[in-house]
Amino acid sequence: MKAKNQRLILAGLAIVAIIGAALLAMSALKDQAAYFYTPTDAKRDHVETGRAVRLGGMVQGGSIKREADGVTIRFIVTDNVETIPVTFKGIVPDLFKENSGVVAEGKFQPDGSFVADNILAKHDERYMPPQVAGEMHKTESLKK
């Protein structure tokens, strides 16, 4: 076999190996990806229960309720169109409060509620998750 043919075969094998590695990496990321939903997106797309997702929006004013155990918190996430009740067990960030931006990581339940494993609160008084800001902007522009 000529040296030129051997190089072509090696280059072909390298390309096949790179494509295989990329497919394996994409497959692994698909299982680990947590998609972001606003309440409107989640209700429209009927997100499957038990799937790890991020729910972002604003904490509805007057909705934060602390359970008697002291670690369970219930609140409502809204994007000013739809609302979703959220339950979280644990210590919330210091900046977590009503009428502020929040991103909850967790899973939807069969009843449509959301159980959060982690809460990310805003870090600036003007902060709003970009997807929520986009949805709220679209909503306001449609009302006019």
Q: Is the pLDDT of residue 142 over 80?
A: no
| Tokens 């918190």 -> residue | 73
> What digits encode the pLDDT tens for the residues 3-33?
888 999 999 999 999 999 999 988 887 766 7
Helix (H, G, I), strand (E, B) or coil at 50: coil
46 is in an annotated binding site: no
Confirm whether pTM is higher than 0.85: no
> What digits encode the pLDDT tens for the residues 48-73?
888 888 999 999 999 999 999 989 99
Q: Is the pLDDT of residue 119 over 70?
A: yes
Q: Is 80 exposed, middle or buried, given 0-12, 13-18 or 19+ CB atoms closer than 10 A?
A: middle
137 is in an annotated binding site: no
* Topology (CATH) of 34-121: OB fold (Dihydrolipoamide Acetyltransferase, E2P) (2.40.50)
For the chain, the structural domain boundaries read 1-32, 34-121
Rounded to whole angstroms, how far apart are CA atoms 40 and 84?
9
pLDDT recorded at residue 87: 96
